[in-house]
């Protein structure tokens, strides 16, 4: 069956450094991917998305990379700040499947 997983459950990064959060997916038909950020006690917040016709997409301080060959997705956060501390989820979707499938999440901790 389809699944979306994260390589690391926790990640600690020094403030100001860049962080990379990885995500693997198994469904080769997946064609839409989203990264969400969830702070403690809050709902998931949309960060950035990417469609399968792209390899890279940039936002403000964030970049998502998609490698369809190895079915891998990553979220890069530049110059991390204390406010970046949260759990990050990747989610995937494919045409004909109306639900997003979420990964288990990576907890990012920013060390002052």
Partner 1 sequence: DSGVTQTPKHLITATGQRVTLRCSPRSGDLSVYWYQQSLDQGLQFLIQYYNGEERAKGNILERFSAQQFPDLHSELNLSSLELGDSALYFCASSVEVYRETQYFGPGTRLLVL
Say whether residue 44 binds partner 1 (CB under 8 A).
yes
**Quick one: tokens of 9?**
């459950």
In total, the chain counts a number of residues equal to 112
Q: Are 28 and 2 in contact (CB under 8 A)?
A: no
Least distance (Å) from partner 1 to the CB of residue 71? 17
Say whether residue 88 binds partner 1 (CB under 8 A).
no
Candidate list 24, 27, 31, 63; residue touching partner 1; CB under 8 A: 31
* Alpha carbon distance 3, 8 (integer Å): 15
Least distance (Å) from partner 1 to the CB of residue 105? 6
Main-chain dihedrals φ then ψ at residue 42, nearest 5 degrees: -120, 165
List interacting residues with partner 1 (CB under 8 A): 31-32, 34, 36, 42-46, 49, 51, 89, 93, 95-96, 98-105
């Amino acid at each position: 069956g389809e699944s979306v997983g994260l390589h690391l459950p926790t990640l600690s990064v020094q403030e100001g450094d860049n962080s990379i959060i990885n995500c693997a997916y198994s469904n080769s038909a997946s064609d839409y991917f989203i990264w969400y950020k969830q702070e403690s006690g809050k709902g998931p917040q949309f960060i950035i998305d990417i469609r399968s016709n792209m390899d890279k997409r940039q936002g403000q301080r964030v970049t998502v990379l998609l490698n369809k060959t190895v079915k891998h997705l990553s979220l890069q956060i530049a110059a991390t700040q204390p406010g970046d501390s949260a759990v990050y989820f990747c989610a995937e979707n494919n045409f004909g499947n109306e639900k997003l499938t979420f990964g288990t999440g990576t907890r990012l901790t920013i060390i002052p």
